[in-house]
Amino acid sequence: MFGTRAAALIVAVLGVFTLVQPATAAPFIVTEAQFNRMFPSRNSFYTYGGLKAAMGAFGSFANQGSDTVKKQELAAFLANVSHETGGLVYIREINQNGDYCDESKPYGCPAGTRAYYGRGPIQLSWNFNYKAAGDYLGINLLKNPDQVATNATTSWKTAIWYWMTQNGPGTMTPHSAMVNSRGFGQTIRSINGSLECDGKNPGTVESRVSKYRQFTGIIGVAPGGNLYC
């Protein structure tokens, strides 16, 4: 009797251990080799490791819906990023003389009225965007906006923050556009639609779409519909 009970207990314990074994992690959507193909001339600041680390802070980014949707979303993000930075070449906006300080905000512009020019993969700009991104990420970007240009993971995080939380001039976040089958064109509208969409600048729209098609080809997924805005 004792031997039978002991055997049953061992089986039960082994069963518990089986249940708590960690699942094998799914492979990252884009390999480092694919990333390097997408950005052959990228600035070394924009690291592959920084992108992976930043994605870990946003659970549903490129991780919602079918495998096709996940791949399309990451391709859409990277295509827009490529357009914004000249292929991940530029860390800071070329023209840094613009006044991106909305002084009507109660927190003002403690880093200086001309300190909030574009930085990072989506060229984060304006004091209110630095404030909102910093608050979300737990980093004081309002006081020290150049962290977006000096820390690769932080830089990628600000771009993903915008993608996941901001409508911009559109009506939905870029993330929502991709996971709800609204198409790549709606991501353009959410990032720079007021200057590019509805015939305002078809050349830049075509540039973004061309890059998206290229990147979906590298990843190995169909681009889907509604590519233009």
Distances (CA, A) of 74 to 62, 111, 184: 5, 33, 11
Q: Give yes or no for a contact between 83 and 207, defined as CB atoms under 8 angstroms apart.
A: yes
Q: Is position 73 annotated as part of the catalytic site?
A: no
Q: pTM of this prediction?
A: 0.86
The model's confidence at residue 27, banded by pLDDT at 50, 70 and 90, is low
Q: Which domains does the chain have, with CATH numbers?
A: 23-91+151-219 (1.10.530.10)
In the prediction, which pLDDT does 95 show?
Answer: 87
Question: In whole angstroms, what is the distance from residue 115 CA to residue 97 CA?
Answer: 9
- Rounded to an integer, the average pLDDT of 96-117 is 95
- Rounded to an integer, the average pLDDT of 25-36 is 80
The model's confidence at residue 13, banded by pLDDT at 50, 70 and 90, is very low
Question: In whole angstroms, what is the distance from residue 63 CA to residue 77 CA?
Answer: 13
Question: In whole angstroms, what is the distance from residue 129 CA to residue 148 CA?
Answer: 12
Whole-number mean pLDDT of the chain? 89
β-strand partners of 92: 119
- Rounded to an integer, the average pLDDT of 14-37 is 59
Tokens of residue 93, six digits: 């906006």
- Rounded to an integer, the average pLDDT of 79-104 is 95
168-208: per-residue pLDDT in tens?
Answer: 999 999 999 999 999 999 999 999 999 999 999 999 999 99
Question: In whole angstroms, what is the distance from residue 209 CA to residue 141 CA?
Answer: 31
Distances (CA, A) of 182 to 19, 130, 167, 200: 39, 28, 14, 20
Question: In whole angstroms, what is the distance from residue 175 CA to residue 178 CA?
Answer: 5
44-59: per-residue pLDDT in tens?
Answer: 999 999 999 999 889 8
Catalytic hit among 84, 93, 196, 206: 84
Look at residue 2 and tell me whether its pLDDT is greater than 60: no
139-162: per-residue pLDDT in tens?
Answer: 999 999 999 999 999 999 999 999
Helices H, strands E: what count in the chain?
9, 0
Tell me how many degrees the CA angle 60-226-184 measures, rounded to the nearest 5: 40
Question: In whole angstroms, what is the distance from residue 117 CA to residue 14 CA?
Answer: 58
Tokens of residue 186, six digits: 């709606």
